Amino acid sequence: MPRLNRTQQIVAAVIYFIFGVIVLFILIAFILKFFGASETSGIFRGIFNISNFFTEMFRGSYQDIRFGPLTLSIFRFVAMTYYPIFGYLLVLLIAGLFVLNPFKIARNISNAFFRFIELFLITRFLFKALAASSQSSFVAFIYKYTNFIPDALHFIPVIRIGQSDIELSVFLVFGIVLMIDILIWNLFQGILGEKDYE
């Protein structure tokens, strides 16, 4: 990620704080659920309601795992993994606009765009490999907008292990996108005459 100026640092701090608070609520709900707290209990209802608002799109991606009275809420864990990534992508995009040089703006938007595409591809690959259920609206969204890859590259085999699919076509496309990303980044760096991130 490029070095941030003062305005970009303030924007990044605000975004990271907001996403940090979201993750904190999800983490508290995750811990409460693990130890068997009821989502309808008066004292915990507010925490669960806030957490559920941010985790609803992940609900159904994986079944909860129960160990006697303990419950491991996997969809909340998935949400805690993705919200910091969403925050990072938002910082890349928004903070990248707080520069005066149009080439730097184009570079920063390009950088954010490629990170977004790479996230989509990695997410599809992992969700298929870990047999995520499309009952989750987030999983269904990822599958819907990335289905063209295995369809277009149907001649590349899919390795099936139980319920898991290892989609080599998605892995290949990710590698190609990553190489294009690096080439475009270096092209912008050459235009801007920069040897290091700025």
**pLDDT the model gives residue 164:** 93
> How far is 9 from 5, CA to CA, in rounded Å?
6
pTM comes to 0.84
Q: Percentage of residues in the chain with pLDDT exceeding 90?
A: 65
Can you tell me whether residue 179 is helix, strand or coil? helix
Residue 67 and residue 69: Cα distance in Å, rounded?
Answer: 6
CB 122 within 8 A of CB 181: no
**What per-residue confidence (pLDDT) applies to 191?**
85
Show me where the domains of the chain are located: 1-98, 101-198
For residue 129, name the pLDDT band (cuts at 50, 70, 90).
very high
By DSSP bridging, strand 158-161 and strand 164-167 are antiparallel
